[in-house]
Structure 1
Amino acid sequence: MPLTVKRLRETKVSGGKSPVHMVSAWANENDLVLGQVKVSEKSNEIAAIPKLLEVLFLEDTLVTIDATGCKTEIAIEITSRKAGYILAVKENQPQLYKDIEDEFRFAKQIEKQVSEDLGHGRIETRVCQVIKDFQFMSAETTQKWEGLKAAINIESVRKFKNSHKPKEMATWYYITSLEPNAKDFQKAIRSQWGIENKLRWTLDVAFSEDASRKRAKNASQNFSILNKIALNLLRNEKTAKVGFKGKRL
């Protein structure tokens, strides 16, 4: 169940309030939006994520969140609800990030799985590496993160066919409360990335959500809910072999 934050760009008022942000929960296996919480103008998405988790049934589910949600209190909330987590780690958690870097730099026993995707004129190779026996991570760090069992490293190399464009390389780090399994982690992390196309891109292209200028009171939040209800219906409508705009018509 990936969680994501989406900004409604045109809800910003010049010299006034900031644009509206929504935190949404996406059920990847079912192609459904399960819920959303509006980020308070005087707060941030870190405060909104626990509110969204509170209203969801999490038992026996896997929750994936980008680096915004990599907080100890969020890890505690997820594990206390008998669910598992995969949290992206970036420099906003400097000590944890450095410890994970050291683990993958010096560790000798690393589980590894390689996958390749070909399509759209490119070849992407992703190497998923997993460490469960921490040698360079302090006990203070491991105890701080509730349920922590493994660290994950994804290295991606994207090459472009029939193009002089240079190859693209990227590295991501994650922590998880699940038992190490590199193949399953590849699939789970890709579902977090896939929310960009399945949810954000579709809302912007098929529903023109980014262009919406609804700003009064709760209008942007209410219409965002309606859009997501419609998206759930259209995602699970299998008879019409057309795109989302055609299905809406």
Structure 2
Amino acid sequence: MLAAVDGDALDRAVGANLAGQDPAGTAPQQRQVIAVDGTSLRGSARLSAGRRHLLSPVTHHRALTLAQAEVGAKTNETAHFRPLLEPLDLDGTLVTFDALHSVQANVTWLAATKKAHYISVIKANQPTAYRQLAALPWADIAVQHTTTSTGHGRRESRSIKTCGIADQLGGIAFPHACLAIRVHRRRRQTGRRESRETVYAVTSLDAHQTTPADLATAIRGHGTVEALHHVRDVTFAEDASTVHTGTAPRAMAFLRNLAIGLLKILGADNIAKTTRAIRDRPERVLPLLGITNKPDP
């Protein structure tokens, strides 16, 4: 049945279900932030076909998957960016994505047509914009926000600087960009030497619409998607699944997203523990799906 189901229809139904149960997404005074990223289903590969690759928009706040599209390969993600986001109401939403999706045509459509804001990481795939960002007078700009975190045997610190693009002669060769962002990361793993990394980004948000702290949170929050993929693999053994026929791999992925999203909406912090509790008493899941067993009057 899953192999023959209409994958697009299932994705729309599950995405609408999750969005409908969490309409606000965040507190009223906060802006909704959505990350767009892809993942591969490793167990779906066969000698005659490569692994399936999926692209999804996921909310930062509760890691709810709002939509999903199957793409032929990771390099084809950019062609699915607009069709994936087209049905969603993104007015005023902040969308984050990595350098792969920093395509000027898609970004222009996102800002002009969907009325959304964005944070776009700029790397070598945008050589002109990258050179312009790196050449900004960052040494003359003070650090505006720092964070430090520890865990899993490592310590990581991040500092952020922002620069108004309109103040720079010639601006930046990127559509609707208002602020340039420089994030410097320092990471020390136990027993290893410290590593450093500098990341440049641009955003359509202006200085009066956001703060360096909010930008730092949004950039770091993009990892929400990767955390969701980790839960799908570790708790639901997604990479170990050898389902590969028809739309079954895609359908199973979104059913996992549905389970995780419902538990997140309920406030579950430990998905693995909560899943085990439901496994031991399956009837507990029925109310979560809106299914009741009331006798007829």
TM-score (norm 1): 0.87
Alpha carbons 1:234, 1:247 under 8 Å: kept:
no
Q: 1:162-218 CA deviation, whole Å, 9 max, x = no partner?
A: x43111211211111001321111111111023211x11001111111122222121
Amino acid at match of 1:164: G
Match of 1:234 in 2: 263
Stretch deviating more after TM superposition (61-70 or 228-237):
228-237
- Secondary structure, in 3 states, of the residue corresponding to 2:239? helix
Alpha carbons 2:268, 2:274 under 8 Å: kept:
no
Match of 2:131 in 1: 98
Match of 1:149 in 2: 178
Match of 1:224 in 2: 253
In 2, the alpha carbon distance for the partners of 1:168 and 1:5 equals 26
Q: 1:54-113 CA deviation, whole Å, 9 max, x = no partner?
A: 0211011100001111011121121121110001111111111111111155x6346621
In 1, the alpha carbon distance for the partners of 2:243 and 2:87 equals 26
- Secondary structure, in 3 states, of the residue corresponding to 2:61? coil
Unaligned runs of 5+ residues in structure 2 are 1-33, 280-297
In 2, the alpha carbon distance for the partners of 1:29 and 1:42 equals 25
Q: Is 2:194 the counterpart of 1:164?
A: no
Alpha carbons 1:26, 1:195 under 8 Å: kept:
yes
Match of 1:57 in 2: 89
- Secondary structure, in 3 states, of the residue corresponding to 2:66? strand
In 1, the alpha carbon distance for the partners of 2:69 and 2:148 equals 36
Amino acid at match of 1:85: Y
2:79 to 40, 44, 47: 47
In 2, the alpha carbon distance for the partners of 1:49 and 1:178 equals 21
Match of 1:108 in 2: 140
Larger Rg, first or second structure (1 or 2): 2
Match of 2:18 in 1: none
In 2, the alpha carbon distance for the partners of 1:244 and 1:25 equals 24
Q: 1:19-98 maps to which residues of 2 (within 5 A)? A: 19-40=51-72, 44-80=76-112, 81-98=114-131
The 1:109/1:133 distance shift into structure 2, 3 A limit, reads farther
The 1:137/1:4 distance shift into structure 2, 3 A limit, reads farther
1:42 Cα shift? 10
Alpha carbons 1:99, 1:137 under 8 Å: kept:
no
The 1:6/1:247 distance shift into structure 2, 3 A limit, reads farther
1:175 to 202, 208, 213: 202
In 1, the alpha carbon distance for the partners of 2:269 and 2:203 equals 39
In 1, the alpha carbon distance for the partners of 2:169 and 2:241 equals 46
Alpha carbons 2:166, 2:178 under 8 Å: kept:
no
Alpha carbons 2:143, 2:159 under 8 Å: kept:
no
The 1:82/1:121 distance shift into structure 2, 3 A limit, reads same
1:150 Cα shift? 1.1
In 2, the alpha carbon distance for the partners of 1:179 and 1:189 equals 16
2:238 to 184, 209, 227: 209
TM-score (norm 2): 0.74
Amino acid at match of 1:73: A
RMSD between aligned residues: 2.4
Q: Which has more strand, going by share of residues?
A: 1
Q: 1:116-159 CA deviation, whole Å, 9 max, x = no partner?
A: 223344332101111114576745x53xx321101111111123
Q: Identify the structure with bigger relative contact order (alpha carbons < 8 Å, sequence gap 6+).
A: 2
In 1, the alpha carbon distance for the partners of 2:159 and 2:74 equals 40
The number of residues matched between the two structures is: 241
